[in-house]
Amino acid sequence: MKVFDLLSSSVVRGRYLILALVAVAVILAIHSSQNITMDQGYETYFSKDYKEYQQYVLFSKNFGGGVASIYIFIKGDDVVNYETYDFALKLGEEISRIDGIGRVKSPAHTVVDILGYLPADEEVLKQLSYQYSSFYLPKKTLMLMEFEVTADESQYNFIAKEVEKRISEIEKPPGIVVEATGNPMIMYQVDKSIGESMGTMGAVAVVLMVVTLVIVFRGVVELKRYLLLPLVISILTFLFAFGLMPVLGIPLTEITNAIAPILIGLSIEYAAQFMGRYEEERRKGNSPAISAVKSIKSVGLALSLAMITTVIGFLSMIFSGVPALGWFGLVSAIGLIVAYLLSLTFLPSVLLITDRKERKRKDEEKISFTEKVLDLASLISARHYRVLLLTVLVITSASYFGYSKVPLETDFMKYIPQDLPAMRKLSELQDLVGSNDRIIAVFQTDGIDSSVIARFEELARYVTNSEQNIVGYSSLGEIIKMNFDKLPSSDTELQQALEKIPEDRVSRYMQGSSYAIYFTVAPMDWLEFRKLYERVTEEMKFFGIEYPFYLTGDVVLKMFVADLIVNGQNRMTIASFAFVFILLLFVYRSPRKAIVPIIPITVVILANGGLMYLLGYSRTLVTASLNSLTIGLGIDFSIHVMERYFEERRRGFEPEKAVEITITNIGKPILTSGLTMAGGFAAMLASPFPIMSDFGVVSLMAIILSLFAALTVVPAFLVFTDNLNSKNKKEKLDDV
């Protein structure tokens, strides 16, 4: 193709300029990367115009549903004593000085509110504490303190850091242990983990790349100083992509922090394929310039198609509807384009400048284990293709059942490291107080009076009695009845009752003309919850409430996260298949050549789903992208095999011989790129984030399966279709 003729000649003439431009770009990327920001949580999962998320934000703003709390555990042999209570008061006063900290609740503060002072008599402390503040004193060895956080999420890190600092500085009574949890503490610790996780995964990825290149690629590269050149390309790719993130306004999240190992692993493929062909040309006795030019021309199309299909796979993540996943796909796609350009410009420039040693043809070499494996793969694919294809068909059919049964994980808290101190304490807190999953019904009324509150109480009782999975409810009417034994019969009584209830409690249920009812629901999976959500919606309409309303809450958002996973996966998969097929059809002008690379990838997707089911892995927001990712990544291997096979067929070789030559010549580069790619994803196993470590495992399985399919299923299918075409042609001639 003319474009590769122009590119190769430009590289030969401008090799020094290319190196200089890359050096400048590295400096700019390092400088830009200093401005990267971090983000996490629902804001990274839902787009700004997602209606249900906007309703949740509105509820949080109006009713304080988004007002977070920091819980402090005070532990000892017996915490109900003057010394410990006095310490709690001092700690409360110290932490209250932090900007963004609101009301403080604890048994010690309750006692002081009642008496006006802290009594030394422990019997009085116990009586008042257990009577009025039992929630914060679940047992005599544990006291809870709750600090309301009135600041927005942008201040959470500052507040959490200050809380940790002041807890460490204040003098504690003997035998007392103080620990903190709550969303601000968790988010602060998650932010620290994101940065540490990226560094760890990146380091592990580099080590795995070095090991893989040394073991597999040394048979491809004659001069060992070039052994790690593909890794240099990968590291440069990551630097450029990381430097672009602040420019594009993309933050580091639980999902985008995996960019380091993925790009380091994926970027090696293009460099490995180019160097494999370059070394082949050099062993023929060609000069570095001629070898570089021939390599760019020969692998340019295959690399271009491989890059474009992979980019399509990543860009299809934009169709997921999840901002963080879209960011991840966009940065990865840009990184792969950069890796492709570096492999066809920077890499040959380095070789042209440094490669001066003459290469000698080695007629007799000891056959390595890798070569024996590749020979076996070519033998099975070429001579036993019918058995192989039949076996694959059976496995794929069985895998479909498992693929359709893979469960979903929608709980955001299970996506983050479970061993964070704040997460461990949160689990302990939930064990003490139980689950707090709630559907919150928010109504917009014309005005709230005694009759409206009575009507809403009827509704709350009706819905609770109608649904066995709703275990209770909380409302302003219920609070009034608990304090005054009955609902107010007039607006005057209502006003008198509201004046006697703390304002912060009233504001959780009533804001202006808006009214909220909190329904507590039993634990259930997302499908059961969706049915409950739909039934509650219908029951409220059937009851005849004339006011507009919406249902919200954390558990409701989790249900919509499940929707994003299922619908997003379907959209991404369909988009990837469609765009890749159209691209291949446009390039090859042949349905056969467009379909051949897609068949093994379909097999891989179903087989990988079956393995996920057998091994007990769930679909998450990240693994939902696996299908499109597999299409983008796995098709690369198939394209390289198919391109070389057709090249050998054009030279006149029979199908079996073409397969043998193809696997022998490009098997090692494909193995190298595949194993290094697998190493990049395997590095995610070092991530403390379950969402990423699980993604690493299932991606690793997908890559290994894709590699196997490319070296066996693709050539087997090519031989099958070639022989089928020959048979059809022969039958037509016989008929004549």
pLDDT in tens, 353-389: 998 777 665 554 555 566 667 777 777 777 777 888 8
Three-state secondary structure call for residue 252: strand
Residue ranges in 50-121 assigned as alpha helix (H): 51-63, 82-96, 107-115
Nearest residue to 279 (alpha-carbon basis) of 217, 188, 236, 338? 217
- Local structure of residue 597 (DSSP, 8 states): T
- Local structure of residue 669 (DSSP, 8 states): H
Q: What is the pLDDT of residue 620?
A: 80
447 burial (CB, 10 Å; 0-12 / 13-18 / 19+) is exposed
Cα–Cα distance measured from residue 370 to residue 384, given in angstroms and rounded to the nearest whole number: 21
Three-state secondary structure call for residue 577: helix
Which residues, in sequence order, are bridge partners of residue 472?
Answer: 520
Confidence check: pLDDT of 211 > 70: yes
Round the CA-based radius of gyration of the chain to a whole number and report it.
32
How high does pLDDT run on average in the chain? 84
Three-state secondary structure call for residue 118: coil
Cα–Cα distance measured from residue 269 to residue 290, given in angstroms and rounded to the nearest whole number: 22
Residue 522: CB atoms within 10 Å:
14
Q: What is the pLDDT of residue 680?
A: 76
Q: 690-735 vs 655-682: helix axis angle to the nearest 10? A: 170
Query: Cβ(595)–Cβ(718) under 8 Å?
Result: no
Enumerate the domain spans of the chain: 2-40+220-413+560-735, 67-187, 446-546
Amino acid at residue number 33: S
Q: Please count the CA atoms within 13 angstroms of the CA of 215 that sit on its side-chain side.
A: 14
Query: Cβ(621)–Cβ(324) under 8 Å?
Result: yes
Cα–Cα distance measured from residue 329 to residue 307, given in angstroms and rounded to the nearest whole number: 14
| Chain centre to alpha carbon of residue 498 | 46
Q: Tell me: the pLDDT tens digits for 494-542? A: 888 888 877 767 878 888 889 999 998 887 777 788 899 999 999 998 9
Q: What is the pLDDT of residue 64?
A: 62
Nearest residue to 625 (alpha-carbon basis) of 560, 695, 550? 695
Confidence check: pLDDT of 20 > 90: yes
Q: What is the pLDDT of residue 241?
A: 92
pTM for this model (two decimals): 0.75
Nearest residue to 235 (alpha-carbon basis) of 264, 197, 270, 255? 264
The more confidently predicted of residues 505 and 442 is 442
Cα–Cα distance measured from residue 460 to residue 516, given in angstroms and rounded to the nearest whole number: 11
Confidence check: pLDDT of 731 > 60: no
Architecture of domain 67-187: 2-Layer Sandwich (3.30)
Structure tokens, 237: 């790719």
Q: Which fold would CATH assign to domain 2-40+220-413+560-735?
A: Multidrug efflux transporter AcrB transmembrane fold (1.20.1640)
Q: Tell me: the pLDDT tens digits for 689-711? A: 888 888 888 888 988 888 888 88
Cα–Cα distance measured from residue 409 to residue 299, given in angstroms and rounded to the nearest whole number: 42
